[in-house]
Structure 1
Amino acid sequence: MDWTSAAEIAEKVRAGIWSASAVVEETLARIARKNPELNAFTLVTAERAREEAARIDQLLASGKNPGPLAGVPFAVKNLFDIQGKVTLAGSKINRDLPPAVADATLIQRLSSAGAILVGALNMGEYAYDFTGENLHYGPSRNPHDLRRMSGGSSGGSGSAVGGRLVPLALGSDTNGSIRVPSSLCGVFGLKPTYGRLSRGGSFPFCPSLDHVGPMARTAQDLALAYDALQGSDDRDSAQVDRPVEPVGTLATELAPDLRIAMLGGYFVQQGTDASREALGQVADALGVQTSIEIPEVAMARAAAYVITNAESSTLHLPNLRTRPADYDPDVRDRMLAGALLPATAYLQAQRVRARFQKIVGEIFTQYDILLAPSTPMTAPLVGQKTMQLDGEEMLVRPHLGLYTQPFSFVGLPVVSVPVSGSLPIGVQIIAAPWQEAKALQVAQVLEDRGFVSAVPQF
């Protein structure tokens, strides 16, 4: 059994060409075969998956529709609660927590749409990571070159989707943790508008910046998952109560009045030839010639770091005091630095945020879509500490998020699309708040034109 997308699986399961049980068995076999090299999964929920597949098959046999994602296997970053399992969040400390009493809201929604959970995925410790390397569970690896990073912190999600273990995965994105692994692993990833999708039942990192969203092999699969994931939820106090706005089937052409610009300045000056070429190729494919700069981007990114450090350290302060040796030192030291920040620094960072929100809001009165690279380079080697960006040696771990942080800082919806090459690299399709459909539509047009591809080498 072979598949190209979640949409194909659902169509064939509903048509009776494949059974959900057969899809699950093939998926579990694929995980058993490939995961020892990719290290994408930290937990495989085989018994649950088989039970859910049998339920889907029974519904179909009785003439009932099990949902738009009927029989589609999916996996989740291990910061999402799975009923009866401990939510690790990539850490050693969380092993001591009791099992979750209920599934996370987004797991419930995908399951209600007919999708089948097959496991939990590796991640950077407490989501504070851009590399996909984990001190406790080992690095998740890039399916295009096993010597290289998957990106993080949703590294297992990128590795599992890019390696064709599953067609669909959930990740989280605080500063770029969906878009960075999507870029490095050659898959599509959606960071929705802040407050659009519920974080209920997910382990927090930085509450005022945390987003959750899907990663997939096609733009249409992202849209299918996004439609299933929408809805209000009392479990997440930050969620904005908006009506469900389904995307449905994506068109193959852009609206003629769609205004698109590529971003220059900050977004090309510190990159590599690979990131600049990918941006130029996407712009050319869309017929975009306009290039603009966003003021104060570097300041916005600096303020995002202040907020990230301050909020994460507050959350972890009890364990930082009593169990410091059980943290990855890189994670621990950044959180400790955050604990020492004065309140005035946090307040000033929030002022910068409000100012940057106005700057970006003004730009979106003139344009509907902005284009920028997802990462400044293709996947570094596992264990690589520094990288060359325009002749300057810079640390890998923080700077893989160079281009993603400014947009999560102000909660914009972004789709990362994969651009093919010897190694993949992503380009961000950035829209105004609540305009996920426009970003997904641009991603679909690029895919239909054969420009972007998520075909793995693994």
Structure 2
Amino acid sequence: MSDLFHSFSDAREIARRVRLGEWKAVEVVEESLQYIQSKNTQLNAFTHITEARAFYEAEQVDQKIARAEDPGALAGVPFAVKNLFDMEGQVTLAGSKINRQDPPAMADATLIQKMNGAGAILLGGLNMGEYAYDFTGENVHYGPSRNPHDLSRMTGGSSGGSGAAVAGGMVPIALGSDTNGSIRVPSSLCGIFGLKPTYGRLSRAGTFPFCPSLDHVGPMSRNVPDLAVVYDVLQGHDPRDPVSAQRECEATSDALDDGIAGLKIALAGGYFRKQATEAAEQAVQKVIDCLGVSQEIEITGAAQARAAAYLITNAESSNLHLGRLRQYAADYDPDVRDRMLAGALLPASWVIQAQRFRSYYRRELQKIFTKYDLLIAPATPMPAPLIGQRSMELDGETMLVRPHLGLYTQPLSFIGLPVVVVPVSTPGAMPIGVQIVAAPWQEKKALRAARYLELSGFTSPLPQN
């Protein structure tokens, strides 16, 4: 087994070789951990590594295979999780200094249990923006995650460690969370695929909340088939999550190569064409040319949706953190603390109006999806900024980096739409992502289009490791 399997083999290939006995799961873990140790000082993706657990889980997989039992669809596949997922025996940090004093988790988050049940092996917890209130991947307590394509640049956040770990070849699969763009922004900046599913599709039980009415969880990977097979594993109603939908699971991995025939696709114009850099515009153009998209539509109210998302995010997150803010204000990232304090002062009438607009906006998007199956939009207005960069120029205006990396993601998560981010590459330049947006519960259509684009050959390659 080559020690470069991290860079050149996908999750399905690892599982295939382990199932056939060509590789031992214990060997996969051993080489994975060695590789992580060699790369993590550069990328700062992992905050802790669950080495003993990983070897135990790998031994269980190898024993199942020796007994001719089914080890699962992800047999021997290493994965890691954003450190807001509960890992039994570990403190759930959620990117915070304050949480270090909490007791270790008594049980795994539901999605970790599902991954383990399919034979995947947990390698540890990944760096993130404090309490998920971040688009940069910079953490004042644990240091910034670094972009594998250029170590001087951001990964995006708040699932920044997840983006760095996958793009850097440390694990083929990572789990992240997405409230306003925290899977999609790092997927875009790190040049990987990411799925933010429909709100309620995947269980959030055992994850540290940020804004419960907007919080999603989902996978990030190096290719679409891996994304689809992991998504299939993670589906299913969970009574532990009050918004978990009681819907039939959809098998997406078997339908990926059906192509885009019959899909009606449009370009999201108006708001989604403003303030984009040339790199973002070129990436969108490549995608719509490949998909044969000629229709452009304007989504009325997108700017207001972003504003309303901010109001709801601030109000809900500050309410969750009031006790901590009173007791540990000095231990917060000042940027996070100040936004939460501001959220605690928002008039209730503003929040109520934001929720009313949310209902209106959802109805307007439902009308669009009676005519179209998918919408195409940029994922971020620019490729990865430099670590520490505070402002950027967009359409001749000086804009703050931290909030504006979510410029195009917030109006979509605001009403829980499923989105797949596809990375697009330009020779000699940083990658940047494009969003494929579907109607609620139509992840399969977005994944089909993403696979079609992947097979076209212009999606972003991984950095050389």
Task: Measure the CA separation in 2 of the matches of 1:20 and 1:420.
Answer: 33
Structure 1 residue identity aligned to 2:432: I
Structure 2 residue identity aligned to 1:350: Q
Question: Which residue among 179, 197, 202 is the counterpart of 1:197?
Answer: 202
**Cα deviation digits, residues 248-268 of structure 1 (max 9, x gap):** 234334242210001111111
**Cα deviation digits, residues 215-253 of structure 1 (max 9, x gap):** 000001010100000111111001111111121234334
Q: CA deviation at 1:367?
A: 0.2
Structure 1 gaps, min length 5? none
Whether the 8 Å CA contact 1:174–1:211 is kept in 2: the answer is yes
Residue equivalent to 1:424? 431
Structure 2 residue identity aligned to 1:188: F
Question: Which residue among 281, 284, 297 is the counterpart of 1:279?
Answer: 284
Structure 2 counterparts to residues 109-258 of structure 1, below 5 A: 109-258=114-263
Residue equivalent to 1:444? 451
Task: Measure the CA separation in 2 of the matches of 1:430 and 1:19.
Answer: 39
Task: Measure the CA separation in 2 of the matches of 1:178 and 1:109.
Answer: 19
* TM-score between the two structures when normalised by the length of structure 1: 0.99
Task: Measure the CA separation in 2 of the matches of 1:134 and 1:23.
Answer: 30
Question: Which residue among 383, 398, 404 is the counterpart of 1:393?
Answer: 398
Task: Measure the CA separation in 1 of the matches of 2:77 and 2:440.
Answer: 29
Whether the 8 Å CA contact 1:418–1:426 is kept in 2: the answer is yes
Whether 2:319 is the aligned partner of 1:314: answer yes
Residue equivalent to 2:40? 35
Whether 2:447 is the aligned partner of 1:435: answer no
Task: Measure the CA separation in 2 of the matches of 1:250 and 1:326.
Answer: 48
**Cα deviation digits, residues 413-432 of structure 1 (max 9, x gap):** 00001001210000001000
Task: Measure the CA separation in 2 of the matches of 1:270 and 1:350.
Answer: 26
Whether the 8 Å CA contact 1:179–1:190 is kept in 2: the answer is yes
Whether the 8 Å CA contact 1:162–1:454 is kept in 2: the answer is no
Q: CA deviation at 1:89?
A: 0.1
Structure 2 counterparts to residues 348-367 of structure 1, below 5 A: 348-367=353-372
Structure 2 counterparts to residues 13-52 of structure 1, below 5 A: 13-52=18-57
Structure 2 residue identity aligned to 1:49: A
* Percentage of identical aligned residues: 66
Structure 1 residue identity aligned to 2:436: I
Residue equivalent to 1:106? 111
Residue equivalent to 2:340? 335
SS of residue paired to 2:267 = strand
Task: Measure the CA separation in 2 of the matches of 1:285 and 1:378.
Answer: 21
Structure 1 residue identity aligned to 2:98: I
Structure 2 residue identity aligned to 1:399: H
Whether the 8 Å CA contact 1:178–1:213 is kept in 2: the answer is yes
SS of residue paired to 2:366 = helix
* TM-score between the two structures when normalised by the length of structure 2: 0.97
Whether 2:408 is the aligned partner of 1:403: answer yes
Task: Measure the CA separation in 2 of the matches of 1:453 and 1:92.
Answer: 35
Task: Measure the CA separation in 2 of the matches of 1:16 and 1:293.
Answer: 53
Structure 1 residue identity aligned to 2:450: A
Q: CA deviation at 1:453?
A: 2.9
Whether the 8 Å CA contact 2:424–2:432 is kept in 1: the answer is yes
Residue equivalent to 2:387? 382
- How many pairs were matched up? 458
SS of residue paired to 1:149 = coil
Whether the 8 Å CA contact 2:136–2:154 is kept in 1: the answer is yes
Residue equivalent to 1:346? 351
Task: Measure the CA separation in 2 of the matches of 1:388 and 1:19.
Answer: 51
Whether the 8 Å CA contact 1:413–1:436 is kept in 2: the answer is yes
Whether the 8 Å CA contact 1:188–1:454 is kept in 2: the answer is no
Structure 1 residue identity aligned to 2:280: S
SS of residue paired to 1:177 = coil
Q: CA deviation at 1:454?
A: 3.8
Q: CA deviation at 1:143?
A: 0.4
Query: Which segments of structure 1 move beyond 6 Å, counting only runs of 4 or more?
Result: none
SS of residue paired to 2:123 = strand
Whether the 8 Å CA contact 2:185–2:380 is kept in 1: the answer is yes
SS of residue paired to 2:351 = helix
**Cα deviation digits, residues 297-340 of structure 1 (max 9, x gap):** 10000000000000000000011111100000000000000000
